[in-house]
Every structure is written in C-alpha cells, then in structure tokens.
Structure 1
C-alpha cells in the first residue's frame, strides 16, 4: 500500500478544483491555499501525534480528571499540560469535563479523560506508576502528598530490594510505587 503524500493530494485538488469552474483565478488561488493550509495542519498534527507513541492513559469516572491532572503536574518537577479537549454542551458528558487531555510528568507522557459512563472497572494496584526518586527528601515529599486522602499499600521502608520504597493508592485511585536508592 502506498502513502498518499500531501503533494499528491494537492495535485488531485488542483485538478478537481479546475473542474469546478470558479468565478475567477483569485477564487481558485484562495481555494487552493485554503486546502493547502488544511493539509499542512493535518501533516503537522500527524507528526506531533507520532512523536511519542506510548503514553499512560488514566480514565476517571467521577469527573475529576482535571483535578487529578493539575495535582500531578503541580507535584512533579518539569511537568506541564500539553493539550485539553473538553466536552461541549451537546456532548454525551457534562459540559466542560475532559474528553481527553495530555500532560507530561517530568518527561513521561500521560493522557486522561472523564468517562461519562460508569464502568464495572476502575484503577487497580496491579498496574501502577513507578517513580525513581533522586533524593530521600523527594521520596518523602511525594509519599506524603500522594498518600493524603489515599491509601498506603506499603509504607516507606527498606524492603531489601530497595533502600527506601513505598506503594500508595492516591485519592483518585491511581497507584504509585516510589523508589529511592542510596548511592
């Protein structure tokens, strides 16, 4: 299967537009520029989407995806929200809730959404986010913040496989494994 390039699409549009008999050459030029701009936007979006093919996706069922995302971005250094798409007033979910949002946590890609349907499943500790901490202060801070209104599954301790390790389910139900190795 061959790839259709933007140049080929532009050529097809040019021949297709020439059959539509525009009123003037300037209208044809405007139409072609509009189509070309659309293709450039599509190509840029496709390139952006393929920069990182893998991201952790978090599905929230209590309309708190934005709250969780903001909490995580504030908690981890070098983190930011990169894109938010919200449900509109005619959508299947509550207006303004997150259809899909993308964010980075210190170099790791994440996506999240507010599910408008209640599922039989939710988050599970069997799948968790592993964080390799650089300092003892960092692991202490993260453990304290993530465990607030959450559940400690394994308190911070030396378990033999790690100098300092903790396992938490945060207030949103997302599980985190925090690890610190003294060097």
Structure 2
C-alpha cells in the first residue's frame, strides 16, 4: 500500500521539543520513536499521530544549508473558534505571525503562523 506523509526534518537536535509541542497542541501521540545512535543525539525518526494525520519527525544527522519556509505549510481545519484561537497562541508562541487571525474572505476565521522551529501552520475555521 502506498502512503504519503509529511516529513519534518530539523537541525540542531530540536525534534524532541518540536514533537512535544505538536503532541501537546493537538492531543496527539508518538506512535514510534528511534533515537540516533551515539555519538549523534536527537531523534533519528519519530512518527506522530496528530488528529489522525501521521507526521514523520527527524533530527538531521547532516548539517545542511536549508530549513523550513512558509511555502510549505500544514493546513489545519479547526473544530471551533476556541480551538483555532488556542492553536494560534500555542503554535505561534515565540514564532512568527504570517497572517494574523482574521476574516480574509475565503475564511471568516484564519491565521497563518510559523512556530519557533520554523514550521508553518495555516489555521482555519471552515
């Protein structure tokens, strides 16, 4: 069976902190996690279940010259306004607001934030 899953690759050993944030924000679970073998540290590969969406997370074992950009984002349809506002606060804390919570015509309640790890989240109330 073919599957397609988002894959978030971090640098600097922050995958565990990012995993903790996402599991906390969405009430998710860590399905599996494998640490890097010494002398490396961090997560070699983890699989998260966030509201039924499987997301892979890793700390890169190799330094590279790229990171996350807003051009790729995770789009979240929220159940209600309270969840939307909570996610804007939780995911946007110490990050950046790309579009503040507002009515943009295509949605009466939408926000776009980048979390403190650089991952971009489009948060929508359908």
Distance 1:152 1:118 in 2: 27
Give the alignment of 1:7-86 within 5 angstroms: 50=1, 53-77=3-27, 79-86=28-35
The answer as to 2:89 corresponding to 1:144 is yes
Q: Deviations over 1:46-88 (max 9, x none)?
A: xxxx5x71111000002010110111011103x1101111112
- Tell me the matched-pair count: 126
Judging by fraction of residues, say which structure has more helix: 1
- Structure 1 unaligned segments of length 5 or more: list them: 1-49
Q: Structure 2 CA distance, aligned partners of 1:57 and 1:144?
A: 23
Q: CA RMSD in A?
A: 1.2
Determine if the alignment matches structure 1 residue 102 to structure 2 residue 47: yes
Structure that is richer in strand per residue: 2
Pick 1 or 2: higher relative contact order, CA cutoff 8 A, min separation 6. 2
Q: Which runs of 5+ in 2 are unaligned?
A: none
For residues 176 and 89 of structure 1, what CA distance do their matches in structure 2 show? 33
Deviation of 1:167 (Å): 0.4
**Runs of 4+ in structure 1 displaced over 4 angstroms?**
none
| TM-score normalised per structure 1 | 0.66
TM-score, normalisation: structure 2: 0.95
Matched residue SS, 1:141: helix
